[in-house]
Amino acid sequence: QSALTQPASVSGSPGQSITISCTGASSDIGGYNYVSWYQQRPGKAPKLIIYDVTNRPSGVSDRFSGSKSGNTASLTVSGLQAEDEADYYCSSYTGDNTEVFGGGTKLTVL
Amino acid sequence: QLQLHESGPGLVKPSETLSLTCSISGGSVNSGNYYWSWIRQPPGGGLEWIGFVSYSGSTKYNPSLSRRVSISGDTSKNRYSLNLTSVTAADTAVYYCARHWRGGGYSHGMDVWGQGTTVTVFS
């Protein structure tokens, strides 16, 4: 079970949009529409912000959106705000009924 | 409102067994469609899924840890537990428990997390 691949870091200015990619395989991302995204601020527990590739839990800003193409899922944050600065992790259901996370991406708001 | 709270020793000696408990309040370990996961995060590192126990007591583990890990539920005390045997320094991490939405047999994300507990393997 290999971790999903994410860029180590991304950055953007306030008001801009950024996209974080998450690449897996046909046994996880490519085979199922069960990708989740989490936001983790320093010293805090992760927070679910996207589930089932595109869905937002109640209370999560609509500036966060998810998509998928083939073996790669993406998280887009539009209208960047200072409060969006955090680490972001993707995860996926896998064909052997387990869960696998990405390595995480640090988002810096310039 | 559902809350999770991890508890257990903060220090464990190499080769010994790490044991943690996740206490559930505002909900039940028997809730249908929800499984109960453990996740860990080494210092400065990323998240690693350890495994889950279902409302019926079935389990599934990360293949990389399956030989050393066991997770069990305790319905009488509304909590679930993690045991990790033969620990080494590589097991030093913040350990989180989380509710895992598993409707239809698939994963829909972990929507409620505990605050995490730090475990250091140290002789």
pLDDT band at B56 (very low <50, low <70, confident <90, very high): confident
What is the rounded distance in angstroms from the CA atom of residue B41 to the CA atom of residue B119?
A: 10
Q: What local confidence, expressed as pLDDT, does residue B105 receive?
A: 83
Q: What local confidence, expressed as pLDDT, does residue B35 receive?
A: 94
Q: What is the DSSP letter of A97?
A: S
With 0-12 CB in 10 A as exposed, 13-18 as middle and 19+ as buried, what is A26?
exposed
**In chain B, pLDDT over 70 holds for what percent of residues?**
100
| Across B44-63, average pLDDT | 95
Q: How far, rounded to the nearest angstrom, does the alpha carbon of residue A23 sit from its chain's CA centroid?
A: 11
Nearest residue to B61 (alpha-carbon basis) of A1, A90, A27, A74: A1
Q: Which among B51, B100, B113 has the least Cβ separation from residue A46?
A: B113
Higher pLDDT, A66 or B106: A66
Is B60's CB within 8 Å of A103's CB? Answer: no
Is A101's CB within 8 Å of B46's CB? Answer: yes
Q: Which among A38, A52, A96 has the least Cβ separation from residue B108?
A: A52
Q: What is the DSSP letter of A2?
A: P
Q: What local confidence, expressed as pLDDT, does residue A106 receive?
A: 98
Amino acid symbol at B72: S
Residue pair B78/B23 in contact by the 8 Å Cβ criterion: yes
Residue pair B43/B93 in contact by the 8 Å Cβ criterion: yes
- Condensed to tens digits (0 to 9), the pLDDT of residues B61-79 reads 999 999 999 999 999 999 9
Q: What local confidence, expressed as pLDDT, does residue B32 receive?
A: 82
Q: What local confidence, expressed as pLDDT, does residue A26 receive?
A: 95
With 0-12 CB in 10 A as exposed, 13-18 as middle and 19+ as buried, what is A93?
buried
Residue pair B101/B34 in contact by the 8 Å Cβ criterion: yes
Residues of B in contact with A52 (CB under 8 A): 108-109
Sign of CA dihedral A55, A69, A21, A93: positive
What is the rounded distance in angstroms from the CA atom of residue A7 to the CA atom of residue B13?
A: 35
- Condensed to tens digits (0 to 9), the pLDDT of residues B7-20 reads 999 999 999 999 99
